[in-house]
Amino acid sequence: MSNTDTDTAPRKILVLGATSGIAEATCRIWAAEGARLFLVARNAERLAAVAADLRTRGASYVDTAVADLDDTDRHPALLAHAVNSLTGMDIAYLAHGILGDQAKAEQDFNAAAQIIYTDFMAPVSLLTWLANFCVQRHAGTLAVISSVAGDRGRRSNYLYGSAKAGLSEFLSGLRNRVDREGVTVLTIKPGPVKTAMTFGVKGSYRFADADAVAASIARAIDKQRDVLYVPFRWQPIMFVLRHLPERVFKKLSL
Ligand SMILES: NC(=O)c1ccc[n+]([C@@H]2O[C@H](COP(=O)([O-])OP(=O)(O)OC[C@H]3O[C@@H](n4cnc5c(N)ncnc54)[C@H](OP(=O)(O)O)[C@@H]3O)[C@@H](O)[C@H]2O)c1
């Protein structure tokens, strides 16, 4: 674990997309540790419910802001307000995202652009500010949820996958830049997880449980890991998928 103050002070954690199923489960772990939390989400009612729940679970401080994170012009003011409210920041956790409608995005560039904007452009905007904040202090962890979908483009979700691929590569470069400044960048690559995003998807009963995924994420942050495949089995699966030759891969219906 790392703190900007002392090893016993509650950690100061900024959560972007705090009503996400995975983020909420992770926040429950941090609340039980007595963390200070600043939560950002766009649904005011659900955000208030999540905040109230985390207070009862032991968070030492919870503040919130309602924001559509596609509004990148608002990011600098929003983030400055968040770190001011937390009186610093040890961890920024980026969890917001959309799966989008792949079939629609194949026909309609506006639908494709929406996926790219929410899943790539908005995180790049947030991370630009957050990385510079951390570099100035030579401390901090930027934990960002990308996806195994970004490891290789597949016909079933290549718009979402390409946005996440861009995000994973951005994080790789950012890590390479800020590691020497004492800043940790964790790229989180979940396989399918049971959350609102995958509700009703065929076979979703077999998907990973959000609480188990959250526990792995919290551990990876504590250990200052670089990349996390979660559940772990997705690491060898994606290794194989990434290395399949195109002449084989293009015949598969994935
Ligand atoms: N579930 C999976 O199988 C899976 C697998 C790999 C990676 N991931 C990634 O994990 C992260 C969390 O997803 P999840 O599974 O927890 O799904 P989720 O419960 O559907 O959470 C997604 C969250 O993103 C928020 N969001 C979307 N667009 C936003 C915007 N413009 N401004 C503010 N908030 C916005 C949503 O808010 P609203 O509720 O207001 O829409 C929602 O709270 C995402 O980045 C996702 O891509 C998920």
- Whether residue 82 contacts residue 14, with contact meaning beta carbons closer than 8 Å, is answered with yes
**Nearest CA residue ID for atom 12, ligand 1:** 95
Dihedral over Cα of 144, 148, 149, 152: its sign: positive
Fill in the amino acid letter for 6.
Answer: T
Does 5 fall in a domain? Answer: no
- Quickly count: other Cβ atoms within 10 Å of residue 242's Cβ: 10
Q: Which domain holds residue 174?
A: 12-249
| Counted domains in the chain | 1
Burial class (CB in 10 A: 0-12, 13-18, 19+), 51: buried
pLDDT in tens, 82-110: 999 999 999 999 999 999 999 999 999 99
> Among the atoms of ligand 1, which is closest to the Cα of residue 19?
43
Does 3 fall in a domain? Answer: no
* 70 Cβ closer than 6 Å to some ligand 1 atom: yes
- Whether residue 65 contacts residue 40, with contact meaning beta carbons closer than 8 Å, is answered with yes
Q: Looking at residue 22, which CATH number applies to its domain?
A: 3.40.50.720
SS3 category, 190: strand
Does 91 fall in a domain? Answer: yes
Does 7 fall in a domain? Answer: no
pLDDT surpasses 50 at 226 = yes
Segment among 49-63, 117-131, 190-204 with least mean pLDDT: 190-204
Does 40 fall in a domain? Answer: yes
What residues pair up with 106 in beta bridges, in sequence order?
A: none
pLDDT in tens, 108-130: 999 999 999 999 999 999 999 99
Does 4 fall in a domain? Answer: no
